[in-house]
Amino acid sequence: MAPEQILASDGGGYDRQAELKSFDDSKAGVKGLADAGLTKIPRFFVHHQLDLELDRASESLGSSPSVPVVDLEGVGRSWSPGERKRTVDLVREACETWGFFQVVNHGMPAALMEEMVQGVQRFHEQDLEAKREWYSRDYGGRKVLYNSNFDLYQAPAANWRDTLTCALAPRSPDPQELPAVCRDVIIEYKDRILELADTIYKLMSEALGLDPNYLKTIHCGEGLFFVGHYYPACPEPDLTLGTGDHTDSSFITILLQDQIGGLQVRHQNQWIDISPIPGALVINLGDLMQLISNDKFISISHRVLAQKIGPRISVACFMRQHLPPENSSRLYGPIKELLSEENPPIYQETTVRDFVTHYYAKGLNGVSALEHVKL
């Protein structure tokens, strides 16, 4: 029996389902709780297996390695073949050993990044009555929505964050469908992210030994699912997480974080901080990339700590199709060019739709969605 089921029926008068429902019905999210000045977090946010003390102790033992930083200055324009090769090698190394890297000089204007963070903050900090209109879990029916914990009812414990969500490509919503407080910036940011994804896919295609346009040709850059997270300050940060341990469902994710910090990646059995670098964007590979690269590139667990300080804002762009019909019939499996007798396929073919449906149904429970498609 899972711990949460034991709790739900422990006879102590704790009705977990009812607590979740009343939190959900408030439509005020975690921010609503934080604003109410709670000193203890509700029980359904408590992560029972969490041992942050132990993690912190092991981290202080030695100097930790850090996620590679890739400088994209001059990419595709002024690079000599030597520079290009060095960068492709760096990207390959990062994709094979970390599943994460940061990019600098990527062409996204600093002012646009700042405005994007502020736009997400404005959304979450707007008047509650107006914000409630956006609260929903109907991902199929609504193009733009906000909620707290997409997997509130599935995951073993809830996370200390609220999220604004919209599918922006290949079909973007009409501008009027986006919240007015961040409409313009979302549209501008989306165009720049699609360009950057194109650049990154070229480098990654080459790193896989394929034609630079390969990943584009198989439509890895065509879908963009946008989330704007808001992590309020938390009164008991050692008992919960901002985002629990998970891998992403995307091909790649392009993440913008503010300067607060708290994002960590699992590397060589340790949690390593991904420290904010002003102007940088974090790139990480998702499960669909691990699948098509047949485990050459890895989709690695990461999480966000809850903290006494806040709010922390981050914007994740998951590069994958989201809504039907775009994702309904195209099949993705290990890339044929990468397979051989010594490297047989590890995964079956799947549609993004089936894969993402499974990912959502499972929630962030610590089990990789890739298990579901293993041969």
Q: Which residues, including other chains, have CB under 8 Å from residue 309's CB and lie 6 or more apart? A: 233, 260
CA distance 19 to 2: 18
Question: Which residue pairs from 52-61 have beta carbons closer than 8 angstroms and sit at least 24 positions apart in sequence?
Answer: 52/238, 52/305, 53/238, 55/270, 55/271, 58/270, 59/270, 59/271
| Interface mask toward ligand OGA for 258-297; x: CB under 6 A | -----x----------------------------------
- Our finding on whether 302 is near ligand OGA (CB under 6 A) is yes
Least Å from the CB of residue 309 to ligand OGA = 15
Q: Which span (201-209, 255-263, 319-327, 350-358) binds ligand OGA, by CB under 6 A?
A: 255-263
Least Å from the CB of residue 156 to ligand OGA = 17
Residues between 103 and 142 with contacts to ligand OGA, criterion CB under 6 A: none
Least Å from the CB of residue 248 to ligand OGA = 5
Q: Which residue has the tokens 């047949």?
A: 294
**Closer to Ni ion at the Cβ: 32 or 242?**
242
Please select the residue that binds ligand OGA; options are 172, 240, 243, 350, rule is CB under 6 A: 243
Going by C-alpha positions, the residue among 160, 171, 178 that lies closest to residue 120 is 178
CA distance 51 to 53: 5
- Our finding on whether 257 is near ligand OGA (CB under 6 A) is yes
**Closer to ligand OGA at the Cβ: 267 or 302?**
302
- Our finding on whether 248 is near ligand OGA (CB under 6 A) is yes
Residue nearest to ligand OGA (CB): 314
**Closer to ligand OGA at the Cβ: 196 or 263?**
263
CA angle 282, 288, 291 (to 5 degrees): 120
CA distance 284 to 253: 5
Please select the residue that binds ligand OGA; options are 28, 169, 220, 304, rule is CB under 6 A: 304
Find the farthest-apart pair of alpha carbons in the chain and give their distance in angstroms, rounded: 69
- Which residues contact Ni ion (rule: CB under 5 A)? 248
Rounded to the nearest angstrom, the gap between the alpha carbon of residue 52 and the centroid of all alpha carbons in its chain is 21
